[in-house]
Amino acid sequence: MDTIIIRGGKPLVGTVEASGAKNAALPLLAAAILADGPVTYRRVPHLRDISTMMTLLAYQGAHVHFDDQSCLHIDTRPASKAEAPYELVKTMRASALVLGPLLARYGHACVSLPGGCAIGARPIDMHLKGLEAMGAHIEVDQGNVIAKAPRGLKGAHIVFDQVTVTGTENLMMAATVAEGETILDNAAREPEVVNLAESLRALGADIEGEGTNRIIIRGVSGIHEGEVEVIPDRIETATYLAAGIITNGDVTVTHAEPGHLEAFIARIRDAGVQVEIGEHSIRCRCNGPLVGVNIHTMPHPGFPTDLQAQFMALMTLARGTSIIRETIFENRFMHVQELVRMGADIKLDGNTAIVNGVESLSGAPVMATDLRASASLVLAGLAARGETRISRVYHIDRGYERIEEKMQKLGADIERHSGSETWMKGIMANG
Ligand code: EPU
């Protein structure tokens, strides 16, 4: 297993380009199931989760390939298998995004039910209830969701009990080719949902209201071939900005979308960071130490749960106390004990972390436990005195494209070592 080794303390300075967003690309790729011709995707990031979705579509019989210009082409016309097997779903929960499109296209689907994951139970009951409201018959057998709608899906009025991002996306895709009108109330307003709605519309769908909590979809007989573009990754963008901030540096992220990061930008400004916003760029600089700021995670446009861990890393070195409340996932504090191993002062009380800023962090061997927790450990390692070794970095590879290369470009002393040999060397080096 790979290890990332960081020798901290160097201010990060310079410019990096945001990659396309993983969480926008995944539903866009699933939407190809509905198209009756090839779909071309621009700005798809090269990530493990994307490869998993490509493998899943290829397993179903689709033609899937990247060309020399880094455009991804998917043609699902040759596909015939309406299935997502456990082997793929267990490595990526977002595989469940194929359920709505498969059921809409074939009238049946068999998708392995995702289990819990490191950050929470994460059921998909609202996806299933929504499909049932559209006329599907659903049962769970031997760990698989077996969905049937032999007479096709029908439009329905669906009110989500709780905001769900992939739930909104799954039902939006199913409704695109259902008979009649579907209204999704209490829908997710995330930029990734908007990207999906705009892309489906470019392929012939009739959708309005994306970006608000009511989305209206009027079913069409089919969607066609075309070209779509993945939006910039707001979480990756903010992670690089945080890398500049935590090292007292000066980082600009280009090809970014500042409008997608308003809550993050407001909170780092409160913490004392100087933020300059361009049309498609964000620059962050610090004038002196950060001050503690409270956050609580919320669906968009609130503070994103996917940035909670990275923000906490910043707050470990801020003056004063910061209260961080996680309201989306019940177990998204796996980074806390690892940050404590690096010298942070953090107390947990249920879904709240109380962070008392310390003068400095010190490098330590730590373990990545999920994607965003790993990113917070990279940030802490960049700021810490001495060497930090992060193991289980396959979590980072799920969501950050060429992370060590991009960090190196900004001046970080960071490298990746592969295999168990590194682990042994790690043991020797750490006595
Ligand atoms: N929930 C239910 N039932 C459902 C669906 C969701 O109880 O049927 C609950 C979840 O357990 C959670 C809350 O509702 O407590 C919100 O979950 P949501 O469905 O919005 O999460 P998701 O769609 O599974 C996406 C992102 C996550 C991101 C969340 C919240 C993708 C592929 N994943 O997950 O991204 O944290 O929205 O914004 O879009 C990440 O990239 O690291 C990541 C975890």
Residue 28 lies in a domain: yes
C-alpha 97 to ligand 1 mean position (Å):
12
Q: How far is the CA of 93 from the centre of ligand 1 (A)?
A: 10
What's the CA-to-centroid distance between 19 and ligand 1, angstroms? Answer: 21
Query: What CATH number does residue 139 fall under?
Result: 3.65.10.10
Residue type for position 66: F
Residue 414 exposure: Cα atoms within 13 Å on the Cβ side:
28
Could you tell me which of 204, 159, 151 has the C-alpha nearest to residue 179? Answer: 151
Ligand 1: residues with CB < 6 A are: 23, 26, 94, 120-127, 162, 164-167, 192, 305-306, 328-329, 371-372, 399
Residues 194 and 278 in one domain: no
Q: How far apart are CA 150 and CA 104, in angstroms?
A: 10
89: helix, coil or strand?
helix
The percentage of residues in the chain with a pLDDT greater than 90, rounded to a whole number, is 88
pLDDT for 221 beyond 70: yes
On the question of pLDDT at 107 being above 70, the answer is yes
Domain presence at residue 244 = yes
Nearest to 182 by CA among 238, 137, 133: 133
- Between the two ends of the chain, the Cα-to-Cα distance in Å is 20
- 363-376 pLDDT per residue, tens: 999 998 899 999 99
In this prediction, residue 419 carries a pLDDT of: 72
Residues 190 and 280 both lie in one domain? no
335 lies in which domain range? Answer: 3-19+232-419
pLDDT digits (tens, 9 = 90+) for 282-324: 999 987 899 999 999 999 999 999 999 999 999 999 999 999 9
Residues 197, 247, single domain; the answer is no
Q: Which residues, listed in sequence order, are joined to residue 41 by a DSSP beta bridge?
A: 72, 228
Task: Tell me what percent of the residues of the chain surpass a pLDDT of 70.
Answer: 97
From the alpha carbon of 192, which atom of ligand 1 is closest? 39
Instruction: Using the predicted structure, report yes or no on whether residue 6 has a pLDDT greater than 90.
Output: yes
Q: Indicate whether 186 and 276 sit together in one domain.
A: no
- pLDDT score at 420: 52
Query: Measured over all CA atoms, what is the biggest interatomic distance in the chain, rounded to whole angstroms?
Result: 67
> Can you give the pLDDT at residue 70?
78
Q: Which of 229, 248, 274 is the last residue of a domain?
A: 229
Residue of 89, 91, 93, 165 to test ligand 1 pocket, by largest number of atoms within 8 Å of CB:
165
Atom 10 of ligand 1 has which residue's CA nearest to it? 122
Question: Are 277 and 316 within one domain?
Answer: yes
Q: What is the pLDDT of residues 227-268, one digit of tens each?
A: 999 999 999 999 999 999 999 999 999 999 999 999 999 999
Ligand 1 atom closest to Cα of residue 169: 23
> Does some domain include residue 431?
no
Catalytic residue numbers, as ranges = 117
Among residues 209, 229, 249, the one where a domain terminates is: 229
The answer to whether residues 48 and 139 belong to one domain is: yes
Mark whether 284 and 207 lie in a shared domain. Answer: no
How many CA atoms lie less than 13 Å away from 33 in the CB half-sphere? 35
Query: Is 167 found in the same domain as 204?
Result: yes
Task: Please give the distance, rounded to the nearest whole angstrom, from the Cα atom of residue 278 to the centre of ligand 1.
Answer: 30
Instruction: Report yes or no on 372 lying in a domain.
Output: yes
Task: Classify residue 32: in a domain, yes or no.
Answer: yes
CB 100 within 8 A of CB 131: yes
Mean pLDDT over each residue of the chain, to the nearest integer? 94
Residues 333 and 398 in one domain: yes
Residue 142 lies in a domain: yes
pTM of the predicted protein model: 0.96
Domain count, the chain: 2
Given the CA of residue 306, which atom of ligand 1 is nearest to it? 36
Is residue 291 assigned to a domain?
A: yes
Instruction: Decide which of 229, 256, 283 is a domain's last residue.
Output: 229
Radius of gyration over every alpha carbon of the chain, rounded to an integer in angstroms: 22
- Statement to judge: residues 285 and 224 lie in one domain: no
The whole-number average pLDDT for the span 154-178 is 98
Backbone angles phi, psi at 85, to 5 degrees: -75, 160
Q: Is there a single domain that holds both residue 284 and residue 223? A: no
181 shares a domain with 51: yes
428 occurs within a structural domain: no
pLDDT, tens only, 35-65: 999 999 999 999 999 999 999 999 999 999 9
